[in-house]
Structure 1
Amino acid sequence: MKKTVADFVDDYLGEILAGNAAIFAGAGLSVPAGFVDWRELIRPLSKELGLEIDLEGDLVAVAQFHVNANGQNRHRLHKAVVEAIAADNPPTENHRLLARLPIATWWTTNYDKLIETALKEAGKNVDMKSAVPQLAITRPGRDAVLYKMHGDVDRPDEAVATRDDFERYPRDRAAFVTALAGDLVSKTFLFLGFSFTDPNLEHVLARIRYTFTTNQRRHYAVFRARTKLATETDEQFQHYRVRQELVFEDLKRYNVKVLVVDDYAEITEFLQELVDRYRRRTVLISGSIDDFGPWGEPTVLDFCQQLGAALIGNGSRVATGLGLGVGDAVFTGALREVMRIKDSIEDTLVLRPFPQSTSSEAERKQVWEAYRQELVSHAGIALFIFGNKLVDGSVEQADGVIREFEIAKEQGLIVLPLGATGSTALTLAKKALADPGSNLAGVDADSLRLLEELSAHEENLNQLVPKVVALVGKLQGNVAK
């Protein structure tokens, strides 16, 4: 990963954790989903006018010319919008990755429904606003607000498309301008698939620049490096390459830092890195215990409490199921630390008490499997401790802990079985360390050595706590706080 992109990931992840991140999506984000860009959308209208759309630089003007030529009748324009965008295309991987991040503010000039679909698939309650009256209404329990500043495909008659529309925008949609200006001042935006030719955004950015002069908030924009097209001469390519560099330089006036990628696949790569590093902030602690030997119950429960508290103190979120012995003790220690530092319980703890009262064994297994899948999905790192249960008076390995290990691997978590705690955790540690390539994805050589140390028997369990916290912090990349 390029250093500029790596630096962006560090900075933007910090903004995400602080609740200050926002997304601005342009047409380029939707094209890989099978939708056309604005040039292709109005190509048939341009043909009706006798214009070659590939020679046109002002596409808004072409839309206006078509409306003018039809006596201000916009029916064909509205029809073009619906025909180009109404298909129920699924979101791209980039949409889905973005939707998994806790970003509450979204802006777009696109008419399609890819963003809201991706957010809904991620379990988010979306408050979509494409018309001014909607701005005054707040959807209860919303997780994300999506501002579709140029309209929505379901209301093509209100689409912002022509020069008339843009000229009237400050009057007809002034509330959108005000809302966008407020977000640009208070949040860090990531612009994706956007060319910065929209006059409304340019007007807002200029207002902010004049108001805040040298104290503008930094934003980021992703561009693909200009490559030579088969139809271009060397002179034409040189012209467009130089022009792109001048655009990058001009964006510095608005404190927009440009991230240049050579291939669009790089965008997916750094979005995946953002998601992975965000998820690693949440640590799943999986374990159960009925037999407390050789340490004894007070020592084991104290260790679990100390571990939960130390992870919270290091800035991690803790996820656990309230299972036998382990879960309740981890929760107790974590909650005590949350209360001490006066943090939000909702923001620091993910708890799933496993239901015991079910009508049948088959139903119980089904419910617990769903619980495990959902619980694991919140985390990026999974710790496995102890793991035993009594069956007819005999101590057995905990099959639930084994299953959570399997689910964690399936979901791409970094798995860390702490073999020093014995039982199932020791079995899993031996398995993982015997074949780290298959079982310990994401664990580098230094971390692997630390995990090996945490697999040796320890008389004083609490001595494991600082080592575990150090290992987790290293794998988080020091972004937990």
Structure 2
Amino acid sequence: MTQDEFTDVFSHSLYNNKGVYFIGSGISVPSGLPDWKGLIEKFVKEIGIDKVEDTDDLPSLAQYYVNKKSKKDLYGAINDDFSNKKPNHYHDIFKITNIKTIWTTNYDDLLEKTFRNNYELKISDKEVFTFVEAKDKIEIIKIHGSIKRNIKDIVITQSDYEDFFIRKPTIVQRLKVDLLQNSFVFMGYNYGDPNIQNILTEVRRLKSDKNKIKHYILLKDKSDQKFKLWCNNLERYNIFPVLYKDHDDFSTLLKKIALKSRGNSVFITGSHTHEKIDDLKLLIKYIVKGNLILIDGQSQGIMRTVVSKFTTRCIKKKIDYQNRIKYFPNPYAANSKFANDSSLLPQLKNFRKPLMKASQVVVAFDGGMGTCAEIKVAQEMGCVVIPFFKNKKSKTWKLIDKIDSLDSAYDMKLKAGKIEMLDLINILNKQF
């Protein structure tokens, strides 16, 4: 499967809350943590094993260590590696992805640090079927335990794997349910990783002709024949490999998923005291006809004009617009000082983060302080920002060189003050 095909299909699953990430140790490596092989290799040196091969049975090696020492010693050896690590660029991308549930075999606390207080952590059988009350919170399920929790929850030795289905039946059942109902993407695993092998076995057990849900695994491309044969064999499990060339290619792929996971959504920002914008009807017509989702931040000015004209056109065309608009609270209704009090900008930006996380594209018209703040939040959240500035005296004009170029011809017309609505629509058409 090509990256583009995968991105389109899986981002659609994420948008409909039917997509799940399953994360392995490779995601934590850029933070200075070892992968599975590196972790095992470090502590088994104490029992006389100097080198660990890719083909070695890693849980068995961990078991040999515990046999000679203890599980407590093993925990101490792991804990030394996992202290004071910070999230990396992969975690930054997860933070701006429209995702509700993340499964992981990792012991580290990097996901918790990434989402700060905006997550619910589930490790034990008792926790795993509890309901996530806040809809904007991320559910993190640590199937093999956490370094910050009870050592008894850590799954690393051969006996841990053997007893897993007995010790954690509820987690196993939850995994089965999720695999049957959602599309999974596995990442951060090598093709010889025992963690992924165990999950593949479970996926294989659940596979049936009636269950058409596809799962995917992101893998660095290798030229050797064993790797190719292994990838081909994955289709028996209904898991389809998506290959990338290097770490940059992998990051680019994750960013595309993050952006497209928001659906074909557009948010329009501009001054509360805007002047009449020529040909606004063309933009509304394109949004309606293009089957785009309109993000309504419920602020005054250009947004209210767009929403009013959008709903009117939908009614005339007999289109159910209720499923075409997503509403987010109006911060200015909560505090009218947001419009012109610069000391409140940090609060305004935090208020707008959920909105921007739901927007793939932000169209920015001329505006003041509030519009500038929204543009900056949109950039932080990875949105595609398309400026449509005409007033060189507006505050937004100062941001024109800080917005990534989408099209050089568009930029030239914009800076020359000759931009037209059809130019904006052409750019939107390329994005969607």
TM-score between the two structures when normalised by the length of structure 2:
0.80
Aligned length: 419
Alpha-carbon distance between aligned partners in 2 of 1:318 and 1:200, rounded to the nearest angstrom: 42
Aligned residue number for residue 391 of structure 2: 424
Instruction: Indicate which of 59, 70, 76 corresponds to 1:79.
Output: 76
1:288 alignment partner, SS class: coil
The 1:52/1:365 distance shift into structure 2, 3 A limit, reads: closer
The 1:47/1:332 distance shift into structure 2, 3 A limit, reads: same
Alpha-carbon distance between aligned partners in 2 of 1:360 and 1:224, rounded to the nearest angstrom: 47
Aligned residue number for residue 22 of structure 1: 20
2:184 alignment partner, SS class: strand
Question: Any conservation in 1 of the 2:20–2:100 contact (CA below 8 Å)?
Answer: yes
Question: C-alpha offsets along residues 139-173 of structure 1, whole Å, 9 cap, x if unaligned?
Answer: 43152211111111022232111111111111111
Question: Any conservation in 2 of the 1:111–1:150 contact (CA below 8 Å)?
Answer: yes
Once the two structures are superposed, the pairs formed by residues 10-409 of structure 1 within 5 Å of their partners are: 10-55=8-53, 57-70=56-69, 73-85=70-82, 87-120=83-116, 125-141=118-134, 143-154=137-148, 155-195=150-190, 196-198=193-195, 200-209=198-207, 212-213=208-209, 215-226=211-222, 241-278=224-261, 281-288=264-271, 307=284, 310=287, 314-320=291-297, 322-323=299-300, 325-333=301-309, 341=320, 343=322, 348-354=326-332, 364-368=341-345, 370-371=347-348, 375=352, 377-378=356-357, 379-385=359-365, 399-400=368-369, 403=372, 407=376
Question: Any conservation in 2 of the 1:308–1:333 contact (CA below 8 Å)?
Answer: no
1:317 alignment partner, SS class: strand
Question: C-alpha offsets along residues 39-91 of structure 1, whole Å, 9 cap, x if unaligned?
Answer: 33233442233223424610111111222234xx3221121222222x12111
Letter in 2 for 1:83: D
Question: C-alpha offsets along residues 8-60 of structure 1, whole Å, 9 cap, x if unaligned?
Answer: 11212111112111101111111111111233323344223322342461011
Question: Any conservation in 2 of the 1:373–1:407 contact (CA below 8 Å)?
Answer: no
Question: Any conservation in 2 of the 1:309–1:333 contact (CA below 8 Å)?
Answer: no
List gaps (5 residues or longer) in structure 2: none
The 1:359/1:179 distance shift into structure 2, 3 A limit, reads: closer
Question: C-alpha offsets along residues 287-325 of structure 1, whole Å, 9 cap, x if unaligned?
Answer: 336586799xxxx9xx689939945972223244623x4
The 1:357/1:13 distance shift into structure 2, 3 A limit, reads: closer
Alpha-carbon distance between aligned partners in 2 of 1:177 and 1:311, rounded to the nearest angstrom: 44
Question: C-alpha offsets along residues 241-286 of structure 1, whole Å, 9 cap, x if unaligned?
Answer: 2222221122111121112222122111111222334468442322
User: Which protein is bigger by CA-based radius of gyration?
Assistant: 1
Alpha-carbon distance between aligned partners in 2 of 1:471 and 1:445, rounded to the nearest angstrom: 11
Question: Any conservation in 2 of the 1:42–1:63 contact (CA below 8 Å)?
Answer: yes
List gaps (5 residues or longer) in structure 1: 228-240, 388-397, 457-463
Q: CA deviation at 1:446?
A: 8.4
Letter in 2 for 1:125: N
Question: Any conservation in 2 of the 1:5–1:270 contact (CA below 8 Å)?
Answer: yes
Alpha-carbon distance between aligned partners in 1 of 2:244 and 2:339, rounded to the nearest angstrom: 53
The 1:312/1:320 distance shift into structure 2, 3 A limit, reads: farther
Letter in 2 for 1:443: D
Letter in 2 for 1:268: S
The 1:194/1:253 distance shift into structure 2, 3 A limit, reads: same
* RMSD (CA atoms): 4.1
Q: CA deviation at 1:403?
A: 3.1
Alpha-carbon distance between aligned partners in 1 of 2:416 and 2:342, rounded to the nearest angstrom: 33
Question: Any conservation in 2 of the 1:41–1:80 contact (CA below 8 Å)?
Answer: no
RCO greater where, 1 or 2, for CA within 8 Å and sep 6 or more? Answer: 2
1:106 alignment partner, SS class: strand
The 1:305/1:175 distance shift into structure 2, 3 A limit, reads: farther
Aligned residue number for residue 441 of structure 1: 405
User: Identity over the aligned pairs, expressed in percent?
Assistant: 20
2:270 alignment partner, SS class: strand
Letter in 1 for 2:291: N
2:120 alignment partner, SS class: strand
Alpha-carbon distance between aligned partners in 2 of 1:244 and 1:5, rounded to the nearest angstrom: 18
The 1:83/1:349 distance shift into structure 2, 3 A limit, reads: same
Alpha-carbon distance between aligned partners in 2 of 1:194 and 1:294, rounded to the nearest angstrom: 51
The 1:186/1:447 distance shift into structure 2, 3 A limit, reads: farther
Question: Any conservation in 2 of the 1:27–1:193 contact (CA below 8 Å)?
Answer: yes
Question: Any conservation in 2 of the 1:130–1:147 contact (CA below 8 Å)?
Answer: yes
